[in-house]
A and B are shown apart, each in its own frame.
Chain A
Amino acid sequence: MAHRFALALLAAAAPATLLAFCIGTGPGVWVAALAGGAVFPAALIALGAARDGRLGSLRWPLLFLGLFLAAGLLAAIGWSNGGPDVLGLPAATAIMIFVLIPVPLLLLGGIFAATFDRWFLRPEDLYRVRVAKRPDERLGNGEEG
């Protein structure tokens, strides 16, 4: 279900982003921000992280990522003059530097490591892949295509 939903999002986001960059003005900018800037990264991660079509507990962090990126980008492009000063910088710039970069880096990196063994690549997955290796490849002389 999550896999299909991610594909549907990507299939909709691709032409929307194309159109947004080709139109440029007005709603084009907002569509580019939402589709190209928020939907694409979150949906691609969902596509890669889904197991048997499901995301399990990963759906919440990925939903958060999409909303977080959308909010951050909309603040960056929509906040007049970047907002009030924070740490000497316009608030939107401060959000870019001190929030939009480190938060996903630590959050996603941490979640990836924490869920790796039980969700992303289990020992039995690796075993199944190795068993499926073709006999000619086991001998090191495989040829495909």
Chain B
Amino acid sequence: MPILDRPVIIISALLYLAVCGALGVWSLRRTRNARDFWIAGQGLGVFVTGLATMAAAFSGFVFLGGPGLTYRIGLSSLFINLSIGFTPALLAWVVAKRLRLLAEVREVYTIPDAVLARYGSRSASGAAAVAILVGTIGYLGAQLLALGTLIEAVLGLRSSLGDWSLAAAVAAGLAVLLFYAVAGGMIAGVYTDVFQGALMVLAAVAVFVYAMAAGGGWGAVVHSIAESERFGRQFLEPLGKTPALTALGFFFVFGIGVLGQPHMLHKFLMIRDPRRLKWLPLILGSSQVLCLLIWLGIGLAVPALVAQGKLPPLGKPDDAAPVFLLGFVPEPLAGFAVVAILSAIMSTADSFMSLGAAVFVRDLPRAFGRRVENELLWGRIATVAVTIAAAVLALLYNDLIALLGTFSFGTFGAALVPALAVGLNWKRVTAAAATASIATGTALNLVLEFLARQTFFPSLPKPPLPPGALPTAVSLAASFTVLFAVTAWTGRRAPALPEDIRAVMEA
């Protein structure tokens, strides 16, 4: 049944968009200066920070792509999430405290600001800004395409608008996103993230319960998969049909690469009191685990339903979540889940709108030794410009943008992790080492991933990597290696650090 014939789903989606708009109005009055606009006035509590970090981190991929990937490759898809057990503590121990303390002593509103403060190098912060811009174009474009596709389906626009339906749906989603992000900056971004994060957690838990019930309970679900000819026990095995190198690459990239995700790290700059970081790992980790129940629930229930003959085999694995939600859960919960998917997409998108705008208004000008007057006004203008540019690029070159979106996480990781994770905890890392590592991570990941995935230029060679090796894992390891090698070469003595930065690194 088309979503259009489900009025509860449409009403839920419209209500949700209205609440986001209302939060934008509420935030408008609280956004008075650049500090409010970029880092929510540095006034967040730990619960808000944890939930907003989770909402920014988990895009629509967790709700749509994850179950689809599981349907395609089995439970080996869980290697992407396996590191979730330690990543919240890793973030807190390795980067959160130092970033927040840097924001205590310097005007640090963005990750390139933090790089500039730590290394005192405009080359390093400029390289970080470029890496963030490249990743943002892909991530934001991919989120806007996903948002348009979902709104197009919910409102049934294709039948009435034909070829223009996706563009119209993207425009409708953009209108709401732009309204609250421009009016309220990160205050609106963070509080909508909290609202969206709460919806995501609740919907994920509820859908998991229904998914297990639809398949006849946990035992029946796993038994029917294991016994079926189509899936078999291999579906449930840790590696299944996935090469070990790919699975380990997932674990390495998502486990360590998380330390370089600017949309997550940016939230740590916003916490009111650094001592509130105490509970961050437990809040962030538990909300992430609860959200991932939807991945596991639909990822197991759909193959079980296919194995039990209650559902025909899927033509496209990515249909797993929509087919299950529209066919097997009550309409109010389906509406709630659609809203949660919208939430996942929009909470990631609004974070990148802010990061992309900051690159132009703050990061690149500072890398060139300039400052923009009236950052609040220009920040709002840049948010509109960056978002519309990303949307237009996404609509014109949707294959290319979707491709960029798939490896943006890796680009951020390869570019930023060594300079931040090691550089914020070891005084000997030099600006030259940080710049070299950021440049290596960005360039190598772009080249390797593009060569590995592109189909636009058949004459281009594939990267010289063994079967199953993830280009991003290679780029991340190479970026670390370059950081250590250049530090060994240039940093025989620890560089002289300003007193405030030294205090931050010794705290």
Interface residues of A (CB under 8 A from B): 3, 7, 10-11, 14-15, 17-18, 21-25, 28-29, 32-33, 36-37, 40-41, 44-45, 47-50, 65, 69, 73, 76-77, 79, 81-82, 87-90, 92-93, 96-97, 100-106, 108-113, 116-117, 120-121, 123, 125-126, 128-134, 137, 140, 142-145
Contacts and interface: CB of A to CB of B under 8 A. Distances in A.
Interface in B471-500: 473-474, 477-478, 480-481, 483-484, 498-500
B256 A134 contact: no
A25 B465 CA distance: 11
B478 A18 contact: yes
A126 B274 contact: yes
A21 B237 contact: no
Given A14-B481, A33-B248, A47-B425, A109 B237 contact: no
Contacts of B425: 47-48, 50
A128 B98 CA distance: 14
A82 B236 contact: yes
A29 B296 contact: no
A129 B226 contact: no
Contacts of B117: 144
B105 A105 contact: no
Given A40-B252, A76-B239, A137 B500 contact: yes
Q: What 9 pairs between A and B have smallest CB-CB spacing?
A: A24-B466, A108-B89, A88-B222, A132-B503, A48-B94, A14-B480, A104-B85, A18-B477, A109-B282
Contacts of B507: 121, 125-126, 128-129
Interface stretch (B119-127, B170-178, B261-269, B378-386): B119-127
B256 A40 contact: yes
Interface stretch (B75-83, B131-139, B190-198, B453-461): B75-83
Nearest to B87: A41
Interface residues of B, number: 89
Nearest to A29: B244
Given A17-B473, A108-B88, 5 more contacts: A10-B484, A21-B249, A77-B248, A108-B89, A128-B506
Contacts of B319: none
Contacts of A40: 252, 255-256
B233 A81 contact: yes
Contacts of A50: 425
Contacts of A132: 105, 499-500, 502-504
A29 B256 CA distance: 18
A145 B421 CA distance: 21
B26 interface: no
Chain B, interface SS category: helix
B391 to A, nearest CB: 33
Given A77-B248, A134-B105, A21 B477 contact: yes
11 contacts: A22-B466, A48-B425, A76-B238, A112-B89, A112-B278, A121-B275, A128-B507, A129-B507, A134-B499, A145-B116, A145-B366
Contact of B85 (A18, A22, A29, A105): A105
Nearest to B35: A140
A131 B499 CA distance: 10
Contacts of A131: 503
B104 interface: yes
Interface in B235-262: 236-239, 244-245, 247-249, 251-252, 255-256, 259
B282 A110 contact: yes
A109 B89 contact: yes
A13 B286 CA distance: 30
A28 B81 CA distance: 22
B218 A129 contact: no
Contact of B289 (A69, A102, A108): A102
B242 to A, nearest CB: 10
Interface string B100-112: 0100111100000
A128 B506 CA distance: 10
A142 B498 CA distance: 13
B93 interface: yes
Given A81-B233, A112-B278, A21 B500 contact: no
B422 interface: yes
Given A24-B245, A33-B248, A41-B90, A88 B481 contact: no
A76 B82 CA distance: 11
A21 B245 contact: yes
Interface in B412-441: 421-422, 425-426
B397 interface: no
Contacts of B92: 112
Given A17-B252, A101-B289, A143-B371, A117 B94 contact: no
**Centre residue among B78, B226, B248, B371 by max chain A CB count within 10 A:** B248
Contact of A37 (B255, B474, B500): B255
A21 B474 contact: yes
B330 interface: no
Given A47-B94, A90-B237, A92-B237, A37 B104 contact: no
A87 B218 contact: yes
Contact of A7 (B78, B236, B426, B474): B426
Nearest to B93: A48
B95 to A, nearest CB: 7
B395 interface: no
A88 B97 contact: no
Contact of A82 (B93, B120, B238, B369): B238
A123 B507 CA distance: 10
A133 B247 CA distance: 45
